[in-house]
Every structure is written in C-alpha cells, then in structure tokens.
Amino acid sequence: MDAAELIWLNGEFVAWEDAKIHVLTHGLHYGTGVFEGVRCYDTESHGPAIFRHQDHVDRLFKSASLYYMDIPYDRETLRQATLELVGRNGFKDCYIRPLVYRGYGTMGLFPLDAPVEVTLACWKWGAYLGEEGKRKGVRAKVSSWRRISPDSLIPQAKASGQYLNSILAKIETHKAGYEEAIVLDDKGMVCEGSGENIFVVSDGVIYTPPPTASILDGINRKSAIQIATDLGLRVVERDIARAELYLADEIYLTGTAAELVPVREVDDHKVGTGEPGEVTLAVQKAFEDALHGRTPRYADWLDPIPAEHYPAAAGGSASSGTAAA
C-alpha cells in the first residue's frame, strides 16, 4: 500500500503511523461500522477531483442511520475534511476510505453506549481487479456462498461486518483459480460480485439485478446505468437466473474499487466471444471519460480539490505521491 502522510481521525489530522484505536474498540470485535469506497481522479477538466463525492457522503450517513449510529459531524464537515486530506497528502489521484465505527466504551452485543468515531484515510490504489482485467476481462465463478438475506442483515447498508460474506466468496473463488466471485441471492438469483454490481448483456439489452435482489445499490452502478441510457442503450432492472450468465453475450462489473471490468468467463463458460463486447466497451469508454473529466455532461459528478489544500500552495511541491513532511 502506498500510504499517505496524514489521516483524519475524529476531527484532527494525525500522522499515518499515529492513527491508532483501542484493542477493545467495539467495531473491531463485532463489526459495528459502516464505510465508503471513494476515488479521486486527476481529471482533465477540473484537476484532482473526487467522483460523486456528495453521493458517497450521503450513503455513508444512510448506512450509519440503518445501524443506529449518529455521526458526530455533519455532511459538509466530512466533505471538506476529505478534500483537505487528499490535498495535504499531495495526491492527485487516490482511493479514499471514510469509516464510521463504534469505538471503545463498552463490550457485549448492546452497542449504543459505545461512542461513534470517524476516520478518513486515502492511499494510492490501482484498479481492484487489475488493469489487465479492465482491458481483457476476468474469469469469474459463482460462489457457493449466498449473498446476505434481508431477513438477517441489511444489504442496502455498506456495513463493515457484512463484508465477511464477500470475503468468504472471494477466498473460495481465488482458491479455485478465478479472479472474481459472483454471488446469488437467497432465492438463487444472480445478485452481484464480491465487491461490484453486475450487468448482463443479451441481444443488445443490458440487464441488472434490482435493489430488491439484496444488492448494494452502488453509486458507480447508478453512474453506469445513466451513461448507458445516455448512449441510447436499453437498461432493464430485473431478476437474472444463473443460466443467463452462461448464455449472455457480454457481462461486466462496476464498483468504485474495480471501476468497470468485463467478465470473459463464468464457471468455465466463455461469455460471448470470450473478449470484451461492443456494448461493454462503449459503456466502459464513456464511464472512463466521466471519471477523468473528459465529458462536460457529467461535470457535476466531480468535486474538485481546492488548489490551496496542496503543499505547493504553501511553498512545497505537490506530486502524485505523498506530501512532503
């Protein structure tokens, strides 16, 4: 991990190595936390800018609310702190991880007496499934582990403990020799990847599971739907049977960490020609253009980092790495 110099922890900027928590932090023992995955890109139109920043902040607050966690800062405070954090670390492009969690204060399953704490971190992190995966596509396997059911937890929340479900699926498929997992919901219908939403293309129509299929309604999912629609493509949200994965012309995944990744094979069934298809490539190109500020139509999805937050504004030199001490 290409670490930053600074982390924002409970309202203060602290050195990366000094960002510590107590071993009895409630979230460490019971998974009582919510988080976001956000990216900053060095855009052509706005300079360094965070993609759909406000949407990520809003979802963080919604996830926290679902788990009865009152965040002790307002949305704008966290937004501004994130902009400053990226700039003070000298990053032009990076991955950003806001985390809200129950801290040290009580043990046991009743969490409401434990304080709610907040940290913001950023670091250099390439595409989750690799640049080659983005170009050529990845091999996927349907996991034997099902996606968490809404009868048990809250799939709509991006909650820390819930990701044990994805971790089991990811490990299983990795050990079997595949790059990614596809999980089914509790009814046996296609749900999502281990950390991405899924799109299936058949006869020129893009199909994707609806929010009622226990998916996390991804922000990049919404972006990809909007982009495909703007390209004149038809997008249908409906349940997808497992066999449709094998019969599909194209499949692709979207997520903040992964960005947009084609799937070239599922369970040793070649998807279409075994190479990224025409629809996938068209949506991927438009998506990449949006991320990097090359499309004025999506300019409002970008939240620029103010120049004064960079070390150069104080006489230092900003770079694409970490800030000077």
Q: So which residues are the catalytic ones?
A: 158
User: What phi and psi values does residue 231 have, to the nearest 5 degrees?
Assistant: -80, 0
Find the helix packing angle between 53-66 and 219-230, rounded to 10°: 140
Evaluate whether 116 touches 69 at the Cβ level (below 8 Å): yes
Which has the closest alpha carbon to 138: 191, 208, 209, 193? 193
- Distance from C-alpha of 105 to C-alpha of 115, rounded to nearest angstrom: 7
Evaluate whether 181 touches 172 at the Cβ level (below 8 Å): yes
317 Cβ contact list (under 8 Å, min separation 6): 311, 324
For β-strands 12-15 and 6-9, DSSP reports them as antiparallel
- Distance from C-alpha of 117 to C-alpha of 133, rounded to nearest angstrom: 36
- In this structure, the number of other CB atoms found within 10 A of the CB of residue 120 comes to 21
- Distance from C-alpha of 211 to C-alpha of 209, rounded to nearest angstrom: 7
Residue type, 207: Y
Burial class (CB within 10 angstroms; exposed 0-12, middle 13-18, buried 19+) of 177 = exposed
Cα end-to-end distance, the chain, whole Å = 18
3-state SS, residue 154: coil
Burial class (CB within 10 angstroms; exposed 0-12, middle 13-18, buried 19+) of 86 = buried
3-state helix, strand and coil shares in percent for the chain, rounded to the nearest 5: 30, 25, 40
Element (H, E) at 40: strand 38-43
